[in-house]
Amino acid sequence: MLRRLDSIVILLLFVLPLSYAQPPTPLPNIKQQDFKLGETLSFKSAILDEERQLNVYLPAGYETNDTLQYPVVYLLDGSADEDFIHIVGLMQFANFPWVKLFPPSIVVGIANIDRKRDFTYPTRNKKDKADFPTTGGSAAFIQSIKEEIQPLIDQKYRTNATRTLVGQSLGGLLATEVLFKHPELFSHYMIISPSLWWDDQSLLSYAPKCLDPRFTDKTTVFVAVGKEGEIMESTDQALADKLKSAEHKAIRSWFHYMGDQGHANILHLAIYKAMGLMQETY
């Protein structure tokens, strides 16, 4: 008898809440639309012989202020699942009228296919070759930036002559190579934690064209490194010293050591710092 009563009680515990359950409140009439951050351009690169993608952010007011021309920020590692979204957010914040840290700019994220190939020049170091078997394609990638990507962006959008290149790690290595070998391609360089250890630090021995007395384009360079180990810190400091010691009238540079940041988390804060220092040069 007791077992039967226990069974009835247990059954009631399950059934009674169901009998008194209220029907769900109907949702209000909802309109849904996609949230648009930017647009993606695809093109066939004749130089690289492959399909490439560019992620593009247009600043607030671009569509309405149809006579204005804008600076362009070219972001290496610019895929949607890499640095494009969070760097665009930082740029958008810096454009707020009450912040005014950075001018409204078009941001072009160059999406990756093989960054180890595109961001490195040929190396003689055996370990580099073993770790990066596709290495050595930076010359072609830089040529694509010069002859394909920049002309495409200038033709499609309202741009001015101010161009910024942003690169970290291997992207910083590439940005340094561009600065040394093709400095005229950009007016501003944000070089974060560049991998200048590559090929036994050979790039630091290169005679930079940006420091040639015949180079007269006004150029600003920001270099930053965090607590990232002796080799990374010493080579990045050597880059900063090389730029400063030349006392070239066309080159203005800053170096910032961010000892409370590491390789994984330095990028965001470093770019924020760079924007503040470079503000007056835009």
Task: Give residue 204's pLDDT.
Answer: 96
Residues forming a β-bridge with 43 = 52
Mean of the per-residue pLDDT values of the chain: 91
Q: Is the pLDDT of residue 23 over 80?
A: no
Read off the pTM.
Answer: 0.90
Whether residue 2 has pLDDT greater than 50 = no
Cβ(260)–Cβ(228) under 8 Å?
no
- What CATH superfamily is the domain 37-281? Alpha/Beta hydrolase fold, catalytic domain (3.40.50.1820)
Cβ atoms within 10 Å of 43's Cβ, excluding its own: 13
* Predicted confidence (pLDDT) at residue 30 exceeds the cutoff of 90: no
| Segments making up each domain of the chain, as ranges | 37-281
Share of residues in the chain with pLDDT > 90 (%): 80
The predicted model gives 105-120 an average pLDDT of 97
pLDDT of residue 27: 77
Mean pLDDT of 46-68: 93
Per-residue pLDDT, 255: 96
Is the separation of the CB atoms in 209 and 181 below 8 Å? yes
Question: In the predicted model, is pLDDT for residue 145 greater than 60?
Answer: yes
**pLDDT for the residue numbered 231:** 94
Task: Write the DSSP assignment of the chain as a string of letters.
Answer: -HHHHHHHHHHHHHHHHHHHPPPPPPPP-----PPP--EEEEEEETTTTEEEEEEEE--TTTTT-TT--EEEEEESS-STTTTHHHHHHHHHHHTSTTT--S---EEEEE--S-HHHHT------HHHHHH-TT---HHHHHHHIIIIIHHHHHHHS-EEEEEEEEEETHHHHHHHHHHHH-GGG-SEEEEES--TTHHHHGGGGS--GGGSTT--S-EEEEEEEES--HHHHHHHHHHHHHHHHTT-TTEEEEEEEETT--TTTHHHHHHHHHHHHHGGG-
Query: What is the mean pLDDT of the segment spanning 27-46?
Result: 90
> What pLDDT digit, counting tens, does each position of 148-183 carry?
999 999 999 999 999 999 999 999 999 999 999 999
Provide mean pLDDT across the span 50-60.
Answer: 96
More confident residue, 195 or 11: 195
What pLDDT is stored for residue 245 in this prediction?
84
pLDDT above 70 for 18: no
Instruction: Please tell me the predicted confidence (pLDDT) of residue 21.
Output: 55
Question: Which residue pairs from 198-203 have beta carbons closer than 8 angstroms and sit at least 24 positions apart in sequence?
Answer: 198/120, 198/121, 198/123, 198/125, 198/128, 198/170, 198/173, 199/121, 199/122, 199/123, 199/124, 199/125, 199/128, 200/124, 200/125, 201/235, 201/238, 202/123, 202/124, 203/121, 203/173, 203/176, 203/177
Sequence-distant (≥ 6) Cβ neighbours of residue 258 within 8 angstroms = 224, 225, 226, 227, 266, 269, 270, 273
As a whole number of angstroms, the longest Cα–Cα distance in the chain is 105
* Between 25 and 3, residue with greater pLDDT: 25
* pLDDT band, very low/low/confident/very high, at 280 (cuts 50, 70, 90): confident
Question: How high is the pLDDT of residue 257?
Answer: 96
pLDDT score of 265 more than 60: yes
pLDDT at residue 1 greater than cutoff 70: no
